[in-house]
Structure formats: C-alpha cells, structure tokens
Amino acid sequence: MTTLYALDQVEKLIRNYQKKDPNMEMVELEEGCLGYGITMISGENLKTAIITEKYLNEWSSGHTIRLYNKTPKKYEKMLEEYYARPDEEKEENN
C-alpha cells in the first residue's frame, strides 16, 4: 500500500530541508495539476527526496515521497533534461 501525503505535509518537508540547508536545490521535473508534479529536493548532507503527485479525482491529488541516499539514475537523467531546456520553458514550469 502506498502512503499519500497532503500538500501541507509536502510543504512541511520542503521547509525542513530549507532549515537544514538554506542552499538546497528544489527542481520541478514535471509540472503537476494540483500539486508538485514530480519534484526533486536535495541538499548537502540530506537525502534526495522525490515527490510525485498522484491523481485521485478531478478535485484532488495526493503525493508520494521517496527518500534516497543517492539520486536514482532515472531522476538524474530527468534533471539533465531539465537543465538542457531553454530558459523560457523552465520559467513556465516554476
């Protein structure tokens, strides 16, 4: 069974990462509809957090959160593709 987290719980995780590392990196790899889509958060001496929005119905969604000691290759590739996009496209997604 997958645990789904509400938006406020995801925001709490982001605040905790910011407290621990003010220079943390947060990248929205894929835009979401109601939430964070696919977002990667990482920082010095912190695990890499992958937040994935899951569709529930037309009015709501939940989020899964996975923590990794090392960023999986799949997300490293998505991050490379994100940084290869033109700047205008990145601004539209953030």
Q: In sequence order, what DSSP letters do the residues of the chain get, joined into one string?
A: ----B-HHHHHHHHHHHHHH-TT-EEEEEE--SSS-SEEEEE-TTS-EEEEEEEEEETTEEEEEEEEESS--HHHHHHHHHHHHS-HHHHHHH-
d(CA 30, CA 13) in angstroms, rounded, equals: 19
Q: Say what the pLDDT of residue 87 is.
A: 72
Give the model's pLDDT for residue 74: 94
Q: Is the pLDDT of residue 89 over 70?
A: no
- The pLDDT assigned to 91 comes to 60
**What phi, psi does 72 have (nearest 5°)?**
-60, 150
pLDDT at 54: 95
Q: Token digits for 6?
A: 């509400």
Note the pLDDT tens digit of each residue in 14-65: 999 999 999 999 999 999 988 999 999 999 999 999 999 999 998 999 999 9
Predicted confidence (pLDDT) at residue 90 exceeds the cutoff of 90: no
Pairing, β 25-30 against β 60-68: unpaired
